[in-house]
């Protein structure tokens, strides 16, 4: 009898046949299970990518957005063209922006002996603009100094002068304007405030560079803090998340 004629007895399975059937059966069971897992995962991923942000995510984004405004906002938005103020019992008036300085280096925005105080704390940028009061007799340079985080900014603001204007924020004279002679020697009053990663400082004095006269510093000292708040408040105000607009991707 040849090898080709040898076969299993009637009713008995060929050797290994059971194992082959089991493997085919397992494959038929596993394949749909894997497909089901993939479908479920795909549905969940699609839902995650297309769902609306949660209230917690919106709040987190709104809180984080102000820290990048010094990069995303235009200089004219950081320093509005007009800032409202009030001196004593007088009616509200408006300080007008004369110009904005192009130099954003921290070390050139402040006196040399003060520059290291900022740089060792990680100062990222310093933007300055000069305003004139409504009568155009007083000039105020307002500076936005940016730090890595709120804690560092809080530490730094304590080093800004609150009475003597130097060493501190440097004046920004603007050629061809009423404030052309408002240099560092004309600084008479200063102030600073902090919120978030920003310190907003101001130094004020006579627009024509005159030294202080008796009784005149009160107006400069009263004007400067109001302009500081006029810049600081909108710069650090919580953002309103508006999905679908150019500024937000939700």
- Which pLDDT does position 239 carry in this prediction? 81
- Which pLDDT does position 47 carry in this prediction? 55
Contact 194, 157 (CB under 8 A): yes
- Which pLDDT does position 3 carry in this prediction? 42
Per-residue pLDDT tens, the chain, 250 aa: give them. Answer: 444 443 444 555 555 555 555 555 544 555 566 667 677 666 665 555 555 566 455 555 555 788 999 999 999 999 999 999 999 888 999 999 999 999 999 999 999 999 999 999 999 999 999 999 999 999 999 999 999 999 999 999 999 987 777 789 999 999 999 999 999 999 999 999 999 999 999 999 999 998 766 555 788 999 999 999 999 999 999 987 667 666 556 5
- Which pLDDT does position 17 carry in this prediction? 53
Distance of CA 80 to the CA centre of its chain: 17
């Amino acid at each position: 009898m040849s090898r080709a004629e040898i076969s299993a007895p009637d009713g008995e399975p060929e050797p290994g046949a059971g194992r082959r059937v089991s493997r085919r059966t397992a494959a038929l069971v596993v394949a749909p299970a894997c497909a089901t897992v993939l479908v479920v995962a795909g549905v969940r991923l699609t839902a995650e990518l297309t769902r609306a942000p949660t209230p917690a995510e919106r709040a987190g984004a709104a809180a984080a957005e102000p820290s990048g405004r010094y990069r995303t906002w235009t200089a004219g938005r950081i320093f509005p063209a007009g800032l409202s103020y009030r001196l004593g019992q007088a009616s509200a008036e408006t300080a007008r922006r004369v110009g904005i300085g192009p130099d954003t280096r921290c070390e050139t925005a402040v006196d040399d002996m003060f520059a290291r105080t900022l740089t060792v704390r990680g100062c990222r940028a310093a933007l300055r603009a000069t305003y004139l009061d409504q009568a155009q007799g007083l000039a105020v340079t307002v500076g936005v100094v940016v730090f890595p985080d709120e804690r560092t900014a809080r530490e730094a603001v304590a080093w800004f002068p609150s009475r003597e204007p130097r060493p501190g924020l440097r004046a920004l004279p603007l050629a061809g304007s009423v404030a052309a002679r408002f240099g560092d020697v004309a600084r008479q009053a200063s102030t600073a405030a902090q919120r978030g990663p920003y310190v907003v400082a101001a130094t004020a004095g006579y627009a024509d560079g005159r030294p202080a006269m008796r009784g005149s510093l009160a107006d400069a000292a009263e004007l400067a803090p109001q302009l500081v708040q006029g810049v600081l408040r909108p710069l650090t105000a919580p953002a309103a998340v508006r999905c679908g607009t150019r500024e937000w991707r939700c």
